Structure 1
């Protein structure tokens, strides 16, 4: 499509000095603008992809992909309850499904944690030791203190595991004792009295998600059943599947395996609204930054128009030598396309370098601001990760190149349609 002499002439015009009527300041501005816009687009998409991946990973690494409940029933005393009495058989039936990788019976309760004068709300998860070891973000956390192997025991000798933020708030370390208080305690002839338990902290974990590290405490299942008056029953079944992204497709088989009273609550039910909002924000950011790329590319028009004006005499001479309108169009199109391609390439390199070194950059920003730039209590996770997705990079590069090529056509057509007679009239 392009001939060698057209590349040669375009390259001559691009490297010509300003005094020779070469590339204008506007062209350099457009090149820098395109590079910065592409860099910003790639960096933003990488951060958004990394944030979503980290957010979802913290959900799936320490929480159930699917939680199995019971519908409300009435016990012998006439009280409503959702407890699962036949949890072992139902867990075995669900575990038999090929899509399921893990089923863990849980007892859950909200209590008040206390250490001396320090208090904090605590979410207690009663779980068997073997099931706790299969939770990725708990068994293999970002940071940990103590030994997860010590988890277990009964009564006052029971050892529990708790999140690092909760341990920090209560000033606890492995080996210390934590006191928990529950209003739903022992039933007596005079009613239900508050129950108090004291346990040894055996393991402190940092799962990477603030709301988990801030409030969660894992207790041996048998001890939790005793503490919360759940003898022989559990509150729910924690289920993990092979493909969490396709959890909705597995839901029907889980309902069938769970039995007639089964209710499901998936991780998409709990976090789906946030993820959908994040996806909408991603699309909006892509559009906004795409407009910035367009604005930067429009500067190519200004630069090429000035170049065409300065090269009017050259255009007339080239036309009299036999070059066609198409050849002139291609020469100036190559000039504009070269600026767009070079700017896009620079932006691509900067964006990739930023994504690959995002952790170091984030650490430097946090150090410079004294840790005020990112609040995990608001954003849920502790770091701002970046993740390069091939599709995002191709979309950013493709958008920049397409816009750069499109805006180049107008001034290139103007140069091609310039009359050689008018161009040489006053020469």
Structure 2
């Protein structure tokens, strides 16, 4: 729709209300503010929800691989030949055997159920989310240590991986170390559900473990519940023999995922099944997507309500400009020209509000974690509890296609809200308008 220069001039003059039209200007201002807040809120909420879903999947896959191979109750015989065949699959970077089980961690009077996961020392060191806080590159190390900083900001002894693999030396999660009051060099007991016969009867098999290092993955589920130990030690404690419970497979990129999964399924045959982390947690991620969709619909109502204010302000503007419209019609202005003038007024309110909302929303979305930290320090409140949301930082991921949808939606609402007042102005009879005046 093309707007003539005179139509633009008249439309923008109408937006600058005179003193007697101040109430109309106030309603228009509220419309603009409503659209700004609605668009900005939508962008922030959608970015946080997208960030949460993306960060959860990224953390899971970077710790445990994009693909997993799960065996039967008897486990998987992860022979060197099997692992070599897996790594030869196009797109596969590595295939690492793991053995894990539920055990009880006992440290003094502290008792907690944990997941004991056995890995090879070289595999543990290769996983940045686990090893970065201990001995990663400086920038990565500082980032992960910052995720699990102490509440009193005292320095944390993260230990070293040089003893990992000796005498049941283990690496525990940072939050788990706090819960069990463990420090580097401390020993604690790991009690397995496997029973062993003794002169005193059948008792659970237990072992003394020594804390070699503390890891911080930035996910509460891992940091508070996982203990990593050398693979052979875990196999002995849980009575697995030479078998493993799973093989974690890392692939180069998502494009390689489907093809690698098919070929790996052919390699392992019937002794195991291959899954990806999205499939394994489909219910969890589907719930997040459902919440995202509901939030989008609910918050879109803010923009819709603001659009109704555009209707009110333009209807009142048409009433106050009845004489002007009549004069313009007698001077030769067409109904279409009158309609375009008031459409332009409504679209100007919607367009400016949308632009301000985009700027506000993107600014908040890009700095949401810094804003959260500032609010928590200033008002001494907890806005993002990692024990509930599983992540140490509030995530944010801007999806530009969603930003475009939000912007277009706001503009469409503004256009639709402007149609009725503009059509009413265009239908005004010039003789009747002059007679009223």
| Residue of structure 1 in register with 2:10 after alignment | 9
Give secondary structure in 2 for the equivalent of 1:183.
strand
1:148·1:161 contact (CA, 8 Å) conserved in 2?
Answer: no
Out of 103, 127, 131, the residue aligned to residue 123 of structure 2 is: 131
Normalised by the length of structure 1, the TM-score is 0.91
| Residue of structure 2 in register with 1:149 after alignment | 161
1:209·1:382 contact (CA, 8 Å) conserved in 2?
Answer: yes
Larger deviation: 189-198 or 124-133?
A: 189-198
Deviation, 1:149, is: 2.9
1:294·1:403 contact (CA, 8 Å) conserved in 2?
Answer: yes
Out of 310, 318, 321, the residue aligned to residue 331 of structure 2 is: 321
1:14·1:335 contact (CA, 8 Å) conserved in 2?
Answer: yes
Partners of 1:190 and 1:167 in 2: how far apart? 32
Partners of 1:248 and 1:55 in 2: how far apart? 20
Out of 79, 96, 103, the residue aligned to residue 111 of structure 1 is: 103
1:179·1:198 contact (CA, 8 Å) conserved in 2?
Answer: yes
Deviation, 1:380, is: 1.5
Partners of 1:188 and 1:84 in 2: how far apart? 30
Deviation, 1:343, is: 1.2
Deviation, 1:305, is: 0.8
Out of 390, 405, 412, the residue aligned to residue 415 of structure 2 is: 405
Deviation, 1:185, is: 5.0
- Cα deviations by residue, 1:108-159 (Å, 9 ceiling, x for unpaired): 122211222222112111111111112231022522743443243333xx42
| Residue of structure 2 in register with 1:88 after alignment | 80
Matches within 5 A, 1:380-395: 380-395=390-405
Matches within 5 A, 1:1-40: 1-19=2-20, 23-40=24-41
Asked if 1:352 corresponds to 2:372, the answer is no
Give secondary structure in 2 for the equivalent of 1:319.
helix
| Residue of structure 2 in register with 1:47 after alignment | 48
1:27·1:300 contact (CA, 8 Å) conserved in 2?
Answer: yes
Matches within 5 A, 1:250-329: 250-329=260-339
| Residue of structure 2 in register with 1:76 after alignment | none
Matches within 5 A, 1:407-422: 407-422=417-432
Larger deviation: 367-376 or 306-315?
A: 367-376
Quick one: structure 1 residues 148 and 68, their matched pair in 2 at CA, closer, same or farther if it must change by over 3 Å? farther
1:46·1:392 contact (CA, 8 Å) conserved in 2?
Answer: no
Which ranges of structure 1 fall in alignment gaps of 5 or more residues? 72-80
Q: How many residues align?
A: 416
| Residue of structure 2 in register with 1:77 after alignment | none
Partners of 1:193 and 1:240 in 2: how far apart? 39
Matches within 5 A, 1:200-219: 200-219=210-229
Deviation, 1:419, is: 1.1
The Cα RMSD (Å) is: 2.3
Larger deviation: 255-264 or 129-138?
A: 255-264
2:90·2:256 contact (CA, 8 Å) conserved in 1?
Answer: no
Partners of 2:269 and 2:343 in 1: how far apart? 68
Quick one: structure 1 residues 426 and 149, their matched pair in 2 at CA, closer, same or farther if it must change by over 3 Å? closer
Partners of 2:83 and 2:288 in 1: how far apart? 34
| Residue of structure 1 in register with 2:154 after alignment | none
Matches within 5 A, 1:173-192: 173-186=183-196
Partners of 2:179 and 2:6 in 1: how far apart? 73
Matches within 5 A, 1:215-254: 215-244=225-254, 247-248=257-258, 250-254=260-264
Quick one: structure 1 residues 153 and 331, their matched pair in 2 at CA, closer, same or farther if it must change by over 3 Å? closer
